[in-house]
Amino acid sequence: MKAFFLPAGLLSMSLLAQTVCPPTPAYAPCDVVFEMSADELQAHPNPYTDVTLDVEFRSPRYRTYRLPGFWDGGNRLVVRFAPTEAGGWDFRVTTNLARYDGKLGRVEATASDSPGFIRPRNVHHWGYTETDQPHLWMGDTSLHFASADQAFFDKLVEARARQKFNHIRGLVMGGLEDSAKAFPLPDRPEAAHFRRLDERIRAMNKAGIVADLVLAGGGDELVRLFPTWQQRERYVRYLVGRYAAMHITWQGVDGFETYENGRELLKEIGSLLKKLDPYDHPRSSGAIVTAAPLAEDGWMSYIVDHTADDQVGAIAHQLHAMPFVNTGFAVEDSGAGKSKPGHTDADTFRKRLWNSAMNGEYPTFANTGTFSAGPAAADPKYLDSPAARQMTVWYDFFSGTRHWELEPYFDVDGGRALALEIPHD
């Protein structure tokens, strides 16, 4: 990105009706708020479609990050930014609101102990942007965490943090009945829904949990909600503006194979995420079996599998030089009830967890009583299930290994294994 330079006399320039956050720790979100006047609202009655707002931030070491702004309801526009190092960050505003266009400002960032955002590391593994320390991905599935009642959500985050989960996967707009409330019209987001989601992702991040954001459900939901390319582009810009400054990953749609033109659609959406997200958060898509067929389209940075078939993961791991996450190696039923063949008891779950790990896949857990993908409503009594406790054992075991260097070892007769990768000359 291009750099820009602020004359000293302009650094003190204040932006009318604009609020800059106080000094912000590195890798924490900072909101720069712009308030529209009555005349501006009259000229732009739907700010979601009528106002363009981008802010370019320059780091103390002259690296730039360009972030889209988003409409937050009423007369409020926000640019949400996360500094990646301590010091003064200068910024420049680009917008079709003449009062703000070209204005300059500064955000002060303080040092923090955050390791940074997660990123692919060492081909099939995970690390952090700031320290490059390894990240042992262990996820949970709560598809409706964005719309679940607050009491369940609070218990979910408390339980999963205590059990050492560091990812929770869910739908940005909640379930089918919730998505129509989140976006009652293709060009009209319900700000209250997304403000609640903001706070929930902040709570997850505070507990050390990354939010794996699924942009829409299966069965062509994304296309039904946003029929045109322009509407989908605005939606992606809106989500990048709201959530790129947080600790997240992008997971496309829930089951791209259930879309009539799933591959083409995901290339469209994934390419936008790659272009608009200056932090380059990991990108993939949910799948019925595997997202591996999308890997050749150039936008993904990791692959989501959703299968108990060990051959799928074993073969794909040898073909693609990126990390794998399996969201469907098994779904535990600890009393809420089974509704699909893949729903199983804790003992079978444990064996499938091991096989998935031996394929070099990072696991994402699911329980029929908490994952909100079946007939049973999410119930906190299933949070402390036998398989959830087995996930903690899995985490403790692999934490004691050089997991960031382990690769599947297939030359075992009648067994499965991982081995340290041996560099080749």
pLDDT, tens only, 216-253 = 999 999 999 999 999 999 999 999 999 999 999 999 99
Let me know: does 366 contact 392? Beta carbons within 8 Å.
no
Predicted TM-score (pTM) above 0.85? yes
**Which CATH fold topology does 8-110 show?**
Immunoglobulin-like (2.60.40)
Q: How far apart are CA 91 and CA 344, in angstroms?
A: 53
CATH class of the structural domain 118-420: alpha beta
Domain boundaries, the chain: 8-110, 118-420
pLDDT reading at 7 higher than 90? no
Query: Nearest to residue 365, comparing CAs of 328, 338, 410, 413?
Result: 328
Mean pLDDT of the chain: 93
Other C-beta atoms within 10 Å of 298: how many? 10
Give how far Cα 272 sits from Cα of 237, 265, 275, Å.
Answer: 8, 11, 5
**Residue range 119-170, pLDDT digits in tens:** 999 999 999 999 879 999 999 999 999 999 999 999 999 999 999 999 999 9
Model pLDDT, residue 375: 67
**Residue range 81-91, pLDDT digits in tens:** 999 999 999 99
**Residue range 98-108, pLDDT digits in tens:** 999 999 999 99
Model pLDDT, residue 421: 64
Model pLDDT, residue 257: 97
**Residue range 245-259, pLDDT digits in tens:** 999 999 999 999 999
- Scan for tokens 């791209």, then name that residue: 256
Residue 332: pLDDT band (50, 70, 90) is: very high
Give me the half-sphere count of Cα atoms (radius 13 Å) on the Cβ side of residue 166.
14
Model pLDDT, residue 374: 65
Model pLDDT, residue 417: 74
Query: What residue ranges in 358-398 does DSSP mark as E strands?
Result: 361-365
Model pLDDT, residue 187: 97
Let me know: does 254 contact 216? Beta carbons within 8 Å.
yes
pLDDT reading at 12 higher than 50? no
**Residue range 171-199, pLDDT digits in tens:** 999 988 899 999 999 999 999 999 999 99
Q: How far apart are CA 110 and CA 316, in angstroms?
A: 42
pLDDT reading at 372 higher than 90? no
List CB contacts of 13: < 8 A, sequence separation 6 or more: 103, 104, 105
